[in-house]
Structure 1
Amino acid sequence: MHPPLTLHRHPMCAEIIEQFQKCHVDHPIRKFFGDCTDLKIKLDQCFRQEVSYY
């Protein structure tokens, strides 16, 4: 689970958030089978970096 994906709350991760949301739109069924998992991992890493930055 991740925090709400609002760009203004996570400016450091905005590009990855947009890619992740686009992946979910482009792959509404395949997202359940791992098509967006690589972006989810990058997003989680970015959120961790963001927390340690502030």
Structure 2
Amino acid sequence: MHPPLTLHRHPMCADIIEEFQKCHTDHPVGKFFGKCTELKIKLDKCFRQEKAVKRKANFEESKKFKERLQAYRKEMPAQGSE
């Protein structure tokens, strides 16, 4: 099973998505017998790579947020005692 194959949500995998959809269109019965399996495997690998990139970006963003939050919390007691 794969996520919805919308091109705007998966820009890294757009070419493979188009090939996969074309394979399904060109081989309406063959898709059930493994005609498009190689493309499906490539698509799954691409989705995994895309997810890893997004995960890394989200982790970096959360790290920056935590640093800002800690700096803010250190400032707060200093402001309250003035």
Give the TM bin, normalised by the shorter chain: over 0.9
* TM, length-normalised to structure 2: 0.65
Shift of 1:12: 0.1
2:2 corresponds to: 2
Letter in structure 1 aligned against 2:6: T
2:27 corresponds to: 27
In 1, distance between residues paired with 2:41 and 2:22? 15
Shift of 1:30: 0.6
For the pair shown, which has the larger CA radius of gyration, 1 or 2?
A: 2
2:15 corresponds to: 15
Gaps of 5+ in 2: 55-82
Per-residue Cα deviation, 1:4-44 (whole angstroms, up to 9, x for no partner): 00000000000000000000000000110000000000000
2:50 corresponds to: 50
CA RMSD of aligned residues (A): 0.3
Identify, as 1 or 2, the structure richer in helix.
2
**Regions of 4+ moved over 4 Å:** none
* TM, length-normalised to structure 1: 0.99
Determine helix, strand or coil for the equivalent of 2:5.
coil
